[in-house]
């Protein structure tokens, strides 16, 4: 939680060629509305105007932003620049599916202004890709990474998923070891979460498969962390690793350190001060509200000081950097941490937290149980 709070811009591209059965993100597989969506998105940008900027990050996520044509991607960045001020070395990320990428396209993507690419690899095991319902193959994953490097990307992030039914440690490590052979600047290793409202969630509830128990999950987490740290990556957030802090995701850090962010597009969330709001999770409703001249906001909440403090504590403890106690005092209520002194000291004794040099840090074990630390 540092005092510099430059805002970030997130743009949700709500289209996918097919839905992966585990995914809970909002997207549509019907492409007929792409051009209406882009028109609405540009209107939404105009409507916000200069209320947030300057931004130092732009993140195109989704959905599958790499499904858009180069012209459409260029149009989005042009409209971002027309409506908002970006600082000169802004981090501009494109989330991509390996199946959509080739070297000449990647060269053009770099040329129009993206300087970071985050590729949804998930696994280098064909069977796992099949279980996850991914539309790309292992061969496509490998050639997408190689093409990104050859095209000139110096900031490549790979997403991987572990804890897949039937996957043991050895199988997961085959994927992990293959990933590091490409020396990606950033790795996100997510544990598979089964969302009840997804096709995979329904199969799980029907008892079709089981998932690793808590002990095995902990082992996956710790061994992944130890291996990647040993290989030269910094485990800087529960699921995120960077080959040097300069490669940590500047954009995602905004979510963890309570920086302001503006989210555009269906289902996107925004945060500023103590206000949080989110857009309609339906393309039709998003288009209709924009057409009616309104903001496409579905809901909002004003966080109380206590909610802000709890969130800051919980989010800060998800990061290796932890929480700067002085910053916390300045920004929130000075009494909060001293009010939690007993429980924090107990967690320190038990090896989950460490308090030193004016900061409160999670230990590696603390990172592994970061979700439960939110309950303190």
Residues that bind ligand SF4 (CB under 6 A): 16, 19-20, 23, 25, 27, 62-64, 97, 120
State the Cα–Cα distance between residues 252 and 256, nearest whole angstrom.
Answer: 7
Q: Is 157 in contact with 184 (CB distance < 8 Å)? A: yes
How distant, in Å, are the alpha carbons of 34, 38, 370 from that of 44?
A: 15, 10, 35
Least gap, CB of 119 to ligand SF4 (angstroms): 11
Give Cα 117 to chain centroid, integer Å: 13
CB-based closest residue to ligand SF4: 23
- Give me the least distance between CB of 356 and ligand SF4, in Å please: 39
Closer residue to ligand SF4 in complex, CB, 12/250: 12
| 132 or 347: CB nearest ligand SF4 | 132
Minimum distance from residue 286 beta carbon to ligand SF4 (Å): 16
The CA-atom distances, in angstroms, between 324 and each of 5, 79, 240, 343 are: 14, 37, 20, 18
- What contacts 24+ positions apart, CB below 8 Å, involve 194-202? 194/22, 195/22, 195/23, 195/24, 197/24, 198/21, 198/22, 198/23, 198/24, 199/19, 199/21, 200/21, 200/22, 201/22
Q: Are strands 240-242 and 261-264 parallel, antiparallel or unpaired?
A: unpaired
CA distance 336 to 257: 17
117 and 83 Cβ atoms separated by less than 8 Å: no
Min dist CB 120 to ligand SF4, Å, is: 6
Which tokens belong to 140? 């496509």
3-state secondary structure of 356: strand
End-to-end CA distance of the chain: 18
Nearer CB in complex with ligand SF4: 120/265 = 120
CB closer to ligand SF4 out of 25 and 173: 25
In the complex, least distance from residue 263 CB atom to ligand SF4, rounded to whole angstroms: 15
Q: How far is the CB of 33 from ligand SF4 (least distance, A)?
A: 16
State which residue, 27 or 148, has the beta carbon closest to ligand SF4: 27
Among residues 109 and 200, whose Cβ is nearest to ligand SF4?
Answer: 200
Smallest gap from residue 307 Cβ to ligand SF4 (A) = 29
Closer to ligand SF4 by Cβ: residue 132 or 344 = 132
């Amino acid at each position: 939680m540092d005092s510099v709070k430059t805002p970030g811009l997130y743009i949700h591209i709500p289209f996918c060629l097919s839905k992966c059965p585990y995914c809970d993100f909002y997207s549509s597989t019907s492409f007929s509305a792409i051009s209406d969506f882009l028109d609405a998105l540009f209107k939404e940008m105009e409507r916000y105007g200069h209320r947030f900027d300057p931004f130092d990050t732009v993140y195109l996520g989704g959905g599958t932003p790499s499904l858009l044509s180069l012209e459409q991607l260029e149009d989005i960045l042009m409209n971002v620049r027309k409506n908002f001020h970006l600082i000169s070395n802004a981090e501009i990320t494109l989330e991509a599916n390996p199946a959509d990428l080739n070297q000449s396209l990647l060269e053009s993507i770099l040329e129009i202004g993206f300087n970071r690419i985050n590729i949804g690899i998930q696994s280098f095991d064909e069977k796992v890709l099949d279980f996850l319902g991914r539309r790309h193959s292992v061969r496509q994953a490998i050639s997408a990474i190689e093409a990104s490097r050859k095209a000139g990307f110096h900031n490549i992030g790979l997403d991987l998923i572990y804890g897949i039914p039937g996957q043991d440690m050895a199988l997961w490590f085959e994927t992990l070891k293959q990933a590091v052979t490409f020396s990606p600047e950033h790795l996100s290793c997510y544990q598979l979460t089964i969302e009840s409202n997804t096709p995979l969630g329904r199969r799980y509830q029907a008892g079709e498969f089981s998932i690793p128990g808590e002990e095995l999950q902990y082992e996956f987490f710790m061994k992944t962390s130890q291996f990647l740290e040993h290989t030269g990556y910094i485990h800087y957030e529960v699921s995120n690793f960077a080959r040097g802090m300069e490669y940590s995701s500047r954009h995602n850090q905004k979510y963890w350190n309570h920086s302001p962010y503006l989210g555009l597009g269906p289902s996107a969330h925004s945060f500023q001060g103590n206000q949080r709001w989110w857009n309609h999770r339906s393309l039709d409703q998003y288009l209709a509200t924009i057409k009616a001249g309104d903001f496409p906001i579905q809901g909002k909440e004003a966080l109380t000081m206590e909610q802000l403090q709890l969130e800051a504590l919980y989010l800060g403890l998800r990061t290796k950097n932890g929480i700067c106690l002085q910053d916390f005092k300045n920004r929130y209520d000075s009494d909060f941490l001293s009010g939690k002194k007993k429980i924090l000291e107990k967690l320190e004794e038990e090896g989950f937290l460490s308090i030193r040099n004016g900061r409160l840090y999670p230990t590696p074990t603390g990172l592994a149980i970061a979700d439960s630390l939110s309950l303190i």
